[in-house]
Each structure stands twice: as structure tokens, then as C-alpha cells.
Structure 1
Amino acid sequence: MGRWMAGVDGCRAGWIVAAQGPGQAPQIAVHADFGDVVAALPPDSVLAVDMPIGLPERIGPGGRGPEALLRPLLGERQSSVFSVPSRAAVSAPDYSVACAAALATSEPPRKVSKQCFFLFPKILEIDALLRADPALSGRIFESHPEGAFMRLNGGALSEPKKVKSQPHGPGLDQRRALLERAGLQPDLVWGTPPRGAGPDDLLDACACLVTAMRIARGEATSLPNPPGRDAFGIPVAIWI
């Protein structure tokens, strides 16, 4: 394909990256900041990241448009798709202010889940980069691991990755098998994740790498198609 591709997922230490260059085996790395992820890759690389990108001013039923479109495709795994609130809520300084802003900018009115709230700093990291350099929107794409796995599987997966917040062996193995079938090396998908990342983070980064490959080949699908745009012109779509 001639370009570097990378799948990126948030993790305890920051961001875990599965990157692959032309004719090379994938490499795994962890970076503290998303800016470091971008700086470590060539300027024409394609990145698929498991993090919401593009923040509308108001939110309709089911969250942003991409979430409402992806969720029904995932069957029992649809709870993995969080409802991301408006830009005002994501930018709020604390949880109570975020909930108040979300209630005021959603229809029907909806507060913010604690799980989603903890993602806000990472969402804002990417948002700040894209607002500072709009050209990055041409190579940084929002993805979703369960959407990638669903495409690889030809349908929603039967096993979750986690049960009661703990890694779920059958679910992880199911996803490893799909990644192997997609052409990723067994020592990558069965390997030990780097410090600061869990086994599910590693597999999610690999799933996003597969999506980056699909984007580079022109085979990925955006939800919606074409992508929407927020007030800053940032695309609002999940690619699978």
C-alpha cells in the first residue's frame, strides 16, 4: 500500500498503537499523548483511533449520529458504543457541569455516563489537534473495535471482551482468531501487551489497524455516509 497505517486505542498509560509500514511487521508502542502518536508516524500515515472525533453542538436520540447507526449492528455488543454528549458537555470542567450541559443540549435530555466522562480528556486531546491542524482530518479517522470485529466476523460477536470489568478469555480468543484470519501475525495478537495497557487494549488497537488498512484500500464504510461535520469542520463519522 505504500503508506504507514496505525490502529490506536486509549489505555491506562495513554495510547496504545499498532502500526505497520510497507513490507514490515506491525509494531506495538505506548505513548502518553496523542500528539506523540501522530509525531511518531510519517506525515502521510493513516490512523484509525477508537475515540470519538467531532463534537456536535446538540445531540439527538441515541447520541451522535455515528453511534446511533453503529449500535444496532452490534447485537449484544452494542453497549460498547457510548453516547457522547455535545461539545459543551465534553468541554465541561467537572462531572456535574458536564451533566448540566448535556441535559441542556440533548433531545431527549440526557446526562453523561461516568464511563463516557472519563474519556473526555482523551477526546479533547484529539479535538485540539484537529482544530489546530485541520489537514489531520484527512488521515485521522474515528473507528470502533467492535465494529471492526463485526465486519471481520460477518456479524455481531457472541462473546464480550470483558465480564464484570475483567478480561474474558473466550471473548479475547474469539477476537484473536478474527485478527489472525485478517492477516495479523499470531505473535502480535497473542502477545503480552506493553506496560500500561491491557490485553483488550492490544486487541482493540489491532482491530483499528485492520480498519486503517481498509481505509487505505478504499474499502472502509463510514457511518454516516458521507460523514457529517461539526462546527469546526471536523468530520463526524465512525469508520468500519
Structure 2
Amino acid sequence: MRVAGIDGGGGAWTVAMWDGSDVRLQRVSHIRELLDVRPVLVGIDLPIGLPSRREPGGRRADREARRRLGRRGVCVFSPPVRESLCAATYREALGINREAGGGISVQCFRLFPALRELDEWMREDPSRQEWVKEVHPELSFTAMNGGRPVEKSKHTREGMRCRISLLDEALFLPRCGRRMEEVVGPLPVIWREHVVDACAVLWSALRILEGTAERVPAEEERDPCGLPVEIWY
């Protein structure tokens, strides 16, 4: 049984894969490479349902996620409108989103290749909605932490240490009988944040499979293309 947690960004997809006995890491250039192993369930840290209009605060799922995260809600970004994903430049993408009701950041534009690839992949086969779910790692860490958001950013040493400790207690020790570093080895600094987020998403994916996960919003919502607008944790 394979279950995957995926972090998109940094020019590749970081995958934490549970194979039934261990967590294994890999980097793939294209999400279609996952079809070679076809996990039972995939959690992914990128928006799946995309809006046609920009609303203040983004999608309802984004707004509810921010409320749950409090001060850490700044790490939830509002996705762009689908129409803008074909833009070749930031200025063009910004103009399309402004016409649709709001702007986007340069950081959001840098995610366009991954957002575009994921969106095309999800829309070409509607059955993928059954086994590919949007997850936000900060909501996952909040759930691991007894409902309390992790106050320190993952970009700080203390914040990273806290998240790894939560993963040890929630994922690695119960599932593998070993701590994260013993399972995946020392992590290069440039890759560490992607791996930690992918592992958090994997933890939530396992919860989805076992029926213990939660989502925002609680009610089903879909975008104009029929994709679910929800964030699991």
C-alpha cells in the first residue's frame, strides 16, 4: 500500500511515500511520474480547485484555514484564477488577476508551472479527485500539535526543530519505530523544508485514508471545472 505526501515547488515535486513499512523520499520532475507507482491516496501541498473570480481573502477554504492558523495564517496564499495560468510574464498574470478582482504576488507567480501542471493533470481525468487531495502542511502541524498552530516559522531553527519533533511523534515513531533522521537520513538545507512539508502532508493523507482527517470547509464546494475546493489536514 503506497500513500504519498507531495510538496510542490523549487522546480520539482518532493514526494514522501509510505510503502506500508517505511517512509521513502524522492524528487520527481513531473507529477505524472507518480503514475509509475500509483499510490492509493495522494496529499498535495498546492491548490487544486481554482477560482474564476478573485474574492477578498481567496477561496472559502483559504479563509477558514487562515482563521484556524491565527498569526500563522500568513502562510496560506490565495491561488490565482485559472485563466491566468497561461500568462508568460508576471505583469500579464497580474493584469488578468486584477481584472478578475485581485492581484497576485511574485512568489505566487513562481508557482505557476507547478500549478499549471497539477491543474491540467487533475482535469484530464476526473477520477483522480477520488485519490488526490489538497493538504496544507501548517494545518497538519496544527493538528499534530493538539490544535495549536506552531508559532515559529519553519524558516527558523526553532520552528524547524519543533516540526521535526511533531513528525517524530505523529508519523515516524508510530509508523516506522524510528525518528525522522534515522529513516530519511540528514537533510540538505536546500531540501529540508520541502521534505518536512511533504512528510506533514503524508501524515494527513494517511488520516484521510483512515477516515480521521478533517477539511475546510466542511461542506463540499467545487470550482467552475468541477474540481473540489477544499483543504484537508
TM-score with structure 1 setting the length: 0.88
Structure number having the greater helix percentage: 2
The SS at the match of 1:227 is coil
Query: Cα RMSD between the aligned structures?
Result: 1.8
Structure number having the greater strand percentage: 1
Report if the CA contact (8 A) 2:9-2:114 is conserved.
no
- In the alignment, the residues of structure 2 paired with residue 54 and residue 61 of structure 1 have an alpha-carbon distance, to the nearest angstrom, of 17
Select which of 63, 66, 84 maps to 2:61.
66
- Give, in angstroms, the shift of residue 28 of structure 1: 0.6
Aligned to 1:40: 36
- The structure-2 alpha-carbon separation of the partners of 1:59 and 1:11, relative to structure 1 and needing over 3 Å to count, comes to closer
Report if the CA contact (8 A) 1:71-1:81 is conserved.
yes
Say whether residues 1:181 and 2:169 are aligned partners: yes
Unaligned runs of 5+ residues in structure 1 are 163-167
List, as ranges, runs of 4+ consecutive aligned residues in structure 1 with deviation greater than 4 Å.
none
Aligned to 1:95: 90
Aligned to 2:175: none
Aligned length: 226
Correspondence 1:83-232 to 2 at 5 A:
83-106=78-101, 110-154=102-146, 155-162=148-155, 168-184=156-172, 185-186=178-179, 187=181, 191-193=185-187, 198-232=191-225
Report if the CA contact (8 A) 1:51-1:143 is conserved.
yes
- In the alignment, the residues of structure 1 paired with residue 86 and residue 66 of structure 2 have an alpha-carbon distance, to the nearest angstrom, of 24
Unaligned runs of 5+ residues in structure 2 are 173-177
Say whether residues 1:238 and 2:231 are aligned partners: yes
Aligned to 1:9: 7
TM-score with structure 2 setting the length: 0.91
